[in-house]
Structure 1
Amino acid sequence: MKMSQNDQETALSRCPGCEEPLEPGDLFCGACGYDLSAVPEPPRDHPTIAISTGAAEPAQAGPQEPGASGDFELAAPVPAAAGAAPDPRASTGPVPAPPAGTKVCVACRAGHVDNDGYCENCGHAQPRERDHMEQELGSVAAVTDRGLRHHRNEDSFAISTTALPDGTPAVLAIVCDGVSSASRPDEASAAATTAANESLLESLPRGTHPQQAMHEAIVAAAKSVNQLAQEPGQTAEHDPHRHQNAPACTLVGAIMANGLLVVGWVGDSRVYWVPEDRSSPPARLTEDDSWAAQMVAAGLMNEAEAYADERAHAITGWLGADAYELEPHTASFKPDRPGVVVVCTDGLWNYAESAAEMSAAVPVDAYERPLHGAQVLVGHALDGGGHDNVTVALLPFAVPVQGAGSACGGG
């Protein structure tokens, strides 16, 4: 059983400036740029308090910028000990301009950004490419965001279109969520989305049934993540002792083709169905591989009790070399009316858990404007607190003109 990001945060050390969880070996905080090599020793007997010339005010979280408050006066600097090396952060001279063509820090606008993404002048972490990404491809769109609490985005998505042998268009979406308690979760999610997407683009045009194609795509994604744990010269056989804490992620995907909706998943990322006519009931189309879902399925707790437990988001299924056993879940549906398919990580559904809540969060024009709808849903999660990375793909579903199938149901 692996723990989700929320379960793991309490076990990590935190930045003294902004309380962001840190990783072993960090020299600077990835969120605020705090220099971790200069962390002062905490006071032994007395709490830290704010000092003001007026009435007492509550202490403010995070380091204050010089001159940020009129109530404070900066103390004179303490002279350096004889023979001590000067502190480069105390330099008052101009910062030399970085060489032409190099990346300039977004914070101080002067320092050179090193290969790890930090400013060599002020230490500020630069925005990563994956912090916020958006893509629209025909009628399908997806958005991913780092969220408000984490120093990197460990989610990944892939959207694409192809055609079946008879020329019928097929629309695909894959969303993966890196398991933060594992090593290199961002690499795991990226590898899984790429492998699953490539598998679908190869199998669907040659006539593989969409549900079988989804199963094969999940297997391909698992193999790709497993390879991240392989050391040079090591065999690819499953070895739970050697692969402890191996890179891992969850996966959820959807295929729309010829009136058929196929979903597949491993883990706790989800797919929701939201009819365009909001008078029709929405539905959740996946079941989590999680501790909470197991408790509900066993009749030991109701859903509200299970998801309120601190163990709720511990997942029981994932892609990775240390997974117990790969069990891809797939299901097929034939909706009888137009609607929107929502493919998302728990960074979104934590703020819209039930099908009714998700339906209420999806904009009414999402069927015509899927990118805007995905943007609104990410904003909904950020407004709710943004505790996790947030990723969502929206696929508007149109019933084929030649006839409608049965109502949305499992296959």
Structure 2
Amino acid sequence: MIEFGHLTHVGLRRELNEDTYYGDSELGLWLVADGMGGHEYGEVASALAREAIVREIRQGTPLQQAIRIADEEIIRASRKRSDSLPMGTTVVAVRIAGNHFEVAWVGDSRIYLWHERKLAQLSQDHSYVQELISQGTITVDQARTHPHRNVVTQALGVTDPQNLNVETLSGDLLPGMQLLLCSDGLTEEVDDRGISQVLAHTECSAQECVDGLVAAALDGGGSDNVTVVLVRRH
């Protein structure tokens, strides 16, 4: 049995919530998208991504291809607006079928796996600071306060479809495992240790854990929109 919790919050310093999410146990699809671009465009881009991916998955399109189609649709919508600012969005999504899961992502929204009281980050951020970490130029701790930590190197609607890197990863989802999808509004304010402390409360429902994580992000400063989806296998 799959149980999931979900919540999005505008945060404490933004007027608009440009994040969106989706969760459907019957379809076996969960996603988080974090929009970017001025004049409400981030909100439009993340919603377009959600709608395109859900529609494509319903039609039987593979997850990676569904995300590529979303990229093309956002680029088309952006061109119609003929605005100088492109609109874009990150996305992280998971499909669950039986005991198997597949995740895919573009940008710096993340997916974590919680298993046997250990937290593992499955996704790797498509970001400027992640490239610096990979090169050994800065540490993970230094990345948390780096002035360019919010610069993504890949985003739907912004990255040319030929250069779009939709990364995927798959595995078995065993009873007791939890998958956490989140926008960077959570990870900016709450480190892996803080996330682990909340997920360790296995007596809590998935929704209670999600509420706790969002509350922790707001306590940490709430500098951005924050969205959390937690999928738990019983």
- Assess same fold via TM > 0.5: yes
- Shift in Å at residue 230 of structure 1? 2.7
Choose between structure 1 and 2: higher strand proportion: 2
| Correspondence for 2:171 | 333
| Correspondence for 2:142 | 305
2:30 to 124, 148, 173: 173
| Correspondence for 1:270 | 110
The equivalences for 1:4-403 within 5 A come to 139-162=3-26, 171-180=28-37, 184-203=41-60, 213-231=62-80, 244-275=84-115, 277-278=116-117, 281-320=118-157, 322-324=158-160, 325-354=163-192, 356-362=193-199, 364-365=201-202, 369-398=205-234
Q: Contact 1:179–1:185 at 8 Å: present in 2 too?
A: yes
Secondary structure at 2:25 match in 1: strand
CA 1:333–1:352: 2 relative to 1, 3 Å: farther
**1:332-351 CA-partner distances (Å, limit 9, x unpaired):** 02245522111000001112
- Shift in Å at residue 180 of structure 1? 4.0
Q: Contact 1:145–1:391 at 8 Å: present in 2 too?
A: yes
Q: Contact 1:370–1:396 at 8 Å: present in 2 too?
A: yes
Aligned length: 231
Q: Which has the higher contact order (CA 8 A, sep 6+)?
A: 2
Q: Contact 1:178–1:248 at 8 Å: present in 2 too?
A: yes
CA 1:193–1:397: 2 relative to 1, 3 Å: same
TM-score by length of 2: 0.89
Q: Contact 2:90–2:106 at 8 Å: present in 1 too?
A: yes
| Correspondence for 1:4 | none
**1:215-271 CA-partner distances (Å, limit 9, x unpaired):** 012112212211221328xxxxxxxxx775211110001122221121110000000
TM-score by length of 1: 0.53
**1:77-102 CA-partner distances (Å, limit 9, x unpaired):** xxxxxxxxxxxxxxxxxxxxxxxxxx
Give every structure 1 segment of 4 or more consecutive aligned residues whose post-TM-superposition deviation is greater than 3 Å.
180-183
Q: Contact 1:141–1:394 at 8 Å: present in 2 too?
A: yes
Quote the Cα distance in structure 2 between the aligned partners of 1:181 and 1:297: 30
**1:197-221 CA-partner distances (Å, limit 9, x unpaired):** 2212221xxxx6xxxx210121122
Quote the Cα distance in structure 1 between the aligned partners of 2:34 and 2:144: 19
Q: Contact 1:182–1:246 at 8 Å: present in 2 too?
A: no
Choose between structure 1 and 2: higher helix proportion: 2
Quote the Cα distance in structure 1 between the aligned partners of 2:174 and 2:231: 16
Quote the Cα distance in structure 1 between the aligned partners of 2:19 and 2:89: 9
Quote the Cα distance in structure 2 between the aligned partners of 1:244 and 1:332: 38
**1:167-199 CA-partner distances (Å, limit 9, x unpaired):** xxx521111001145861110011111111221
Quote the Cα distance in structure 2 between the aligned partners of 1:302 and 1:282: 19
Structure 1 residues not aligned, in runs of 5+: 1-137, 163-169, 233-241, 399-411
Question: What is the root-mean-square deviation in Å for CA atoms of aligned residues?
Answer: 2.2
Secondary structure at 1:282 match in 2: strand
Over the matched positions of the two proteins, sequence identity in percent amounts to 27
Structure 2 residues not aligned, in runs of 5+: none
Q: Contact 1:363–1:376 at 8 Å: present in 2 too?
A: no
Quote the Cα distance in structure 1 between the aligned partners of 2:31 and 2:70: 10
Q: Contact 1:270–1:346 at 8 Å: present in 2 too?
A: yes
Q: Contact 1:272–1:342 at 8 Å: present in 2 too?
A: yes
